[in-house]
Amino acid sequence: MPPTLPDFSSSVKLKYVKLGYQYLVNHILTFLLIPVMAGIVLEVLRMGPQEILNLGRSLHLDLVQVLCSSFLIIFVGTVYFMMKPRPIYLVDYALYKPPVTCRVPFATFMEHSKLNTSDPKSVNFQMRILERSGLGEETALPPANHYIPPRPNMAAARAEAELVIFSAIETLMKKTGIKAKDIDILVLNCSLFSPTPSMTAMVVNKFKLRSNIKSFNLAGMGCSAGLISIDLARDLLQVHPNSNALVISLEVITPSYYSGNERAMLLPNCLFRMGGAAILLSNRRKDKWRAKYSLVHVVRTHKGADDKAFRCVYEEEDTQGKKGVSLSKDLMAIAGDALKSNITTMGPLVLPASEQLLFLFTLIGRKIINPKWKPYIPDFKQAFEHFCIHAGGRAVIDELQKNLQLSTEHVEASRMTLHRFGNTSSSSLWYELNYIEAKNRMKKGDRVWQIAFGSGFKCNSAVWKCNRTIRIQDDSPWLDCVNRYPVHIPEVLKL
């Protein structure tokens, strides 16, 4: 029997209905003002020159009123611009590219695991993790981890830190032309390696930075510490005019190698790899014209008050006294809860009015009409052109793609970064951003959302706006391989 009513889902293109609704709501003020302005213009055109002059005389404005009004306008404008936050510009950034000698193919990794681990079950577990990890054959580990057994001593850790940090800074200085004396603020984050003197002191000593530089060394803050460093640098730039801030994000892998058999502690061995980034921020107006991006928002969420969240990424010793970082089975659920809190704060800042209204109506409907209504997930694709999701692991990217309803292209940068460089901790977001640039997809006016998760447990977000169309640069770590990406990553890669 034919249906009594037409099938509206097929007879009407609902996609265009939704687009029409979005355009109408997002430009409602324009649509309301156009008829009003048109009416005023028509009324003025109907009046003669004499009537317009009479209207002006009827206002009875004298010189004192004009001067007072002008002074008030100038005063209000001055106060507004003085209270307005300083714009923060990302002038440029540089990434560390590990040498070929540091690469660790799967076969090499598994061979070393067999030689370094006495338990065959631990070897098989690491093999299964690698098969499903999404990592490729070109990821890199520091030189100390290539020894049998590995040599995670202080000297090797310092050597890795110096190699990554100094290389990235030297590349950044060459790109931007900035001198050591021009750096006013220095912020560095590294979770698992915190020597004395600090790594910021290492940078000051190497590059002979000024004695009055404001330096900060952040430790133990996990993979999301890169955005915490950006937030700290932004706050400092708000109170120090005409300044430059150098932000360094990395993780030193050498001291974090785990040689035991606890499965929860073996996971970082399989996922974490070598990498680092150096970022130059500025609040100088003259840097606006050469800066790549402008910082729009930073939103930080901390779930450390909850015991499970606090312990889900935890550095400790196993039963044999061997130190390592333990990853809880509840990690994904805790990350999802932290993301929910973060986007609840982020949504009103970035979403268009159409999405906020739909979310509000659904929320009211669930409270008043039917609690079983499916909650509305805002379409963040309307707020951002690009997404940089922390390449912490395949499961993290899969979960965010599903929850935020992102396309394959939206998470391509995250997946390919995980495949080519592995989990480089806090610097992974910058490898992802550089992938988008290397693919020549970054256009002027594009908005980028960086999302990172870290121990504690934290979820942090940063929003950037592109100031100019960006093309691949000669120092890009993707330069020699971007043409063969994206690659197909199977669910399970049998080793």
User: What pLDDT sits at residue 85?
Assistant: 81
* pLDDT tens-digit map of 255-301: 988 988 898 899 999 999 999 999 999 999 999 999 999 999 999 99
User: What pLDDT sits at residue 178?
Assistant: 95
Catalytic positions, please? Answer: 223, 302, 386, 390, 419, 423
Cis amide linkage into residue 197, ω under 30° from 0: yes
User: What pLDDT sits at residue 60?
Assistant: 63
Sort strands 185-189 and 244-250 into parallel, antiparallel or unpaired. parallel
Are 195 and 158 in contact by the 8 Å Cβ rule? The answer is yes
Residue 351 — very low, low, confident or very high, per pLDDT cuts 50/70/90?
confident
The rounded distance, in Å, linking the Cα atoms of 136 and 118 is: 26
Residues 336-351 as b/e (b if ≥16 CB within 10 A, e otherwise) read ebbbeebbeebbeebb
Average pLDDT over residues 370-393: 84
Whole-model pTM? 0.87
* pLDDT tens-digit map of 3-39: 444 443 444 455 555 556 555 556 666 767 788 787 7
110-119, 412-421, 478-487: least confidently modelled range? 110-119
* pLDDT tens-digit map of 207-256: 999 999 999 999 999 899 999 999 999 999 999 999 999 999 999 999 98
CB neighbours of 211 closer than 8 A, spacing ≥ 6? none
User: What pLDDT sits at residue 11?
Assistant: 43
Are 350 and 297 in contact by the 8 Å Cβ rule? The answer is yes
DSSP, collapsed to helix, strand or coil, labels residue 422 as coil
Alpha helix positions (H), 84-222: 106-116, 120-133, 154-176, 199-207
Average pLDDT over residues 55-83: 71
Residue 126 — very low, low, confident or very high, per pLDDT cuts 50/70/90?
very high
User: What pLDDT sits at residue 62?
Assistant: 65
Residue 65 — very low, low, confident or very high, per pLDDT cuts 50/70/90?
low
User: What pLDDT sits at residue 106?
Assistant: 93
